[in-house]
Structure formats: structure tokens, C-alpha cells
Chain A
């Protein structure tokens, strides 16, 4: 069964304390893996797309990496404004299905 699991469920960091969020997936052929950020009361905001193992993408303090079984979202020296829920999603190679994880709620404390 195709599915996406994110860990940890919640993460509290001190400002400047780097860490990583995990997204593990099982899908019958990966077409793409997506990372989104969701703030309270808003829809998810697109961050990255990764297509193949070994690929990396960076944006400001965020860096996403992909292996054959999982993806990591590395946050370097986070700031309070990075506090949000980070969602991972995969798209299977066949059909138009997107599978989302339940997200990691990140809180960065000043």
C-alpha cells in the first residue's frame, strides 16, 4: 500500500539549533516527492520537488534531500518565522494520485 510517514510529529527547537525532519515513503514507482509548509489557517505553500535519489534542493535555511526510501528536510540555524507544519507528499508514477504525510509541527523558540 502506498503511504507516507513523517517524523517527528512535533519538534521544538531553540533559535539557531539545526535539525532534520524525516519523510519515509512506500510507493509503487515514485514520480516526484514534494515538501510544503503550512501556517495555521492557511493552505500549504510549495517548497521543493525532488525527482530521483541523490537529488538535493536548497532555499534559504532549508535543504531537502532524497533517497530511495526517504527524504529529509534539513533546517539550518532556524528562526522563529520558520515555525510551521511541514508536509511531505509523493506522487506515484501511475495515475494522478498524491499521498500526503500527517506533517511535522515545528516550533522555533527565540
Chain B
């Protein structure tokens, strides 16, 4: 595997389900990010991790819970989501959280019924 990978690629869940999104980067980077991409809206930065420590949390509802067990892996735990949470969730990594280009994974297309 190379670059940034995300699993699953597609996820359909009910409002009472609990699921997790997984991201893995094979680039040796120190910073990882979760973004939400909705139609006709800008990418929304949700969480930033630098060296496994959360450094940014943009007022994201508590039904989204990130976890970064090491510098290569990032999870987004989902529970009791709402239909408006349906979107493409993108993971990215960069060398560090300073000025550095981000490398994105292919995303997980989430549908909440």
C-alpha cells in the first residue's frame, strides 16, 4: 500500500448504529487530519493530530470521536449520527502541521438513514 488509504470506501448506517472509519498513511508523516466534504460546501476541517496529539478540534459534535493510536493510523468513531452527517469523509496527512502539502485518501462515502 502507498499513500493514504481509507476503509471502508462506502458505509450505510442507521441513526442508532456505531461504526468506525479507518485511515492509514504510508508516508512517514507526523500530522493527520479528518475532513468532511458535503455537496456545494467547502471541505470542513474536523480534527488535526500532530505526533498523535490532537491539536485542533473545530467544534465538531461529540457523536464524532477521533482516535490516533500512532502516527500512521487515524480513526473516526461514529455513533448516533444524523442524516445531515451524510457526506464524504476524507483523511489526509502531511509532514507536520505547519505549512506542508496534505496528501488525501480516497474518502469514505457515508450515508446515514
Contacts and interface: CB of A to CB of B under 8 A. Distances in A.
Interface stretch (A63-71, A74-82, A92-100): A92-100
A42 B50 CA distance: 24
A46 B98 CA distance: 16
A50 B99 CA distance: 10
A49 B101 contact: yes
Given A43-B106, A46-B101, A91-B99, A101 B42 contact: yes
Given A96-B48, A100-B42, A43 B56 contact: no
Nearest to A88: B42
Q: Which of A4, A43, A49 has the most CB of B within 10 A?
A: A43
Nearest to B97: A96
B15 interface: no
Given A43-B4, A51-B99, A100-B43, A95 B105 contact: no
Interface size class of A (residues with CB under 8 A): 20 to 34
Given A31-B99, A46-B102, A49-B101, A97 B45 contact: yes
Contacts, number: 51
A101 B40 CA distance: 10
Interface string A1-40: 0001000000000000000000000000001101010000
Given A44-B102, A87-B43, A96-B50, 12 more contacts: A4-B42, A32-B99, A41-B106, A42-B106, A42-B107, A43-B105, A43-B107, A44-B43, A96-B48, A96-B56, A99-B42, A102-B41
A34 B45 CA distance: 15
Contact of B42 (A34, A42, A102): A102
Nearest to A93: B99
A31 B41 CA distance: 23
Given A42-B106, A43-B105, A102-B40, A97 B56 contact: yes
